[in-house]
């Protein structure tokens, strides 16, 4: 009998502790449940937003190991039409600068009428991911390639000053 009474009190408490907010509850709090990862909630205290952390943790999705470790690809192709440079001056600035030269495994391909996209490829040249970069600024494009493209060892003795 005593176990029944204890379980009657503990069961509702366990349900309350493990309860999460619904998508609608999160939306009312200004959070989008489907796009919020718990790692983002954990960094709120860095910005002095500790009071939001509890609600954030109720609305977040658990980060998986694949989400925290970015996949790095051996090569990429940035495809764009020069006719779109007026609409995407940040992409034109990236392409016309010396920044693409920092990525020997990046190819720039001009495709008529195409908005700027990036295709990430495996060793055999098979496309694994395709991303639209229309909203990215020049620095974001460079940072993306720095983090998602594998580094290429350059043994050019003229650049290393070795004979």
Q: Is the pLDDT of residue 98 over 60?
A: yes
Q: What is the pLDDT of residues 5-48, one digit of tens each?
A: 445 554 444 444 445 778 888 888 888 877 788 888 888 877 78
Q: Does residue 161 surpass a pLDDT of 60?
A: no
- Asked if residues 139 and 145 have their Cβ atoms less than 8 Å apart, the reply is no
- Cα separation, 160 vs 128, in Å, equals 33
Residue 127, pLDDT score? 93
* This prediction's pTM: 0.55
| C-alpha distance across the termini of the chain, in Å | 87
DSSP string, 141-159: HHHHHHHHBPP-----HHH
Decide the pairing of beta strands 106-110 and 75-80: parallel
Q: Which domains does the chain have, with CATH numbers?
A: 2-66 (no CATH), 75-148 (3.40.30.50)
Q: What's the Cα-to-Cα distance from 48 to each of 40, 43, 56, 92, rounded to whole Å? A: 13, 9, 14, 38
Handedness of CA 147, 109, 84, 130 (dihedral sign): negative
How much is the pLDDT for 55?
Answer: 85
What confidence tens digit (pLDDT) does each residue in 105-158 have? 999 999 999 999 999 999 999 999 999 999 999 999 999 999 999 987 765 555
- The H or E element containing residue 37 is none
pLDDT at site 16: 43
> What is the model's pLDDT at position 162?
53
Spatial distance between the Cα atoms of 102 and 108, rounded to a whole number of angstroms = 13
pLDDT at position 24 is: 86
pLDDT band at 1 (very low <50, low <70, confident <90, very high): low
The pLDDT of residue 25: 84
């Amino acid at each position: 009998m005593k176990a029944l009474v204890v379980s009657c009190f503990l069961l509702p408490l366990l349900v309350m502790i493990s309860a999460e907010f619904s998508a609608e509850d999160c939306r009312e709090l200004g959070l989008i449940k489907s796009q919020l990862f718990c790692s983002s909630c954990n960094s709120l205290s860095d910005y002095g937003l500790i009071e939001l952390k509890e609600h954030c943790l109720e609305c977040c999705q658990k980060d998986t190991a694949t989400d925290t470790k970015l996949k790095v690809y051996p090569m990429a192709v940035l495809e764009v039409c020069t006719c779109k440079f007026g609409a995407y001056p940040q992409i034109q600035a990236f392409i016309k600068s010396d920044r693409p030269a920092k990525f020997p495994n990046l190819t720039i391909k001009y495709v008529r009428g195409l908005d700027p996209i990036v295709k990430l490829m495996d060793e055999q040249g098979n496309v694994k991911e395709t991303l639209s970069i229309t909203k990215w600024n020049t620095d974001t494009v460079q940072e993306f390639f720095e983090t998602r493209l594998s580094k290429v060892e350059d043994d050019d003795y003229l650049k290393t000053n070795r004979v």
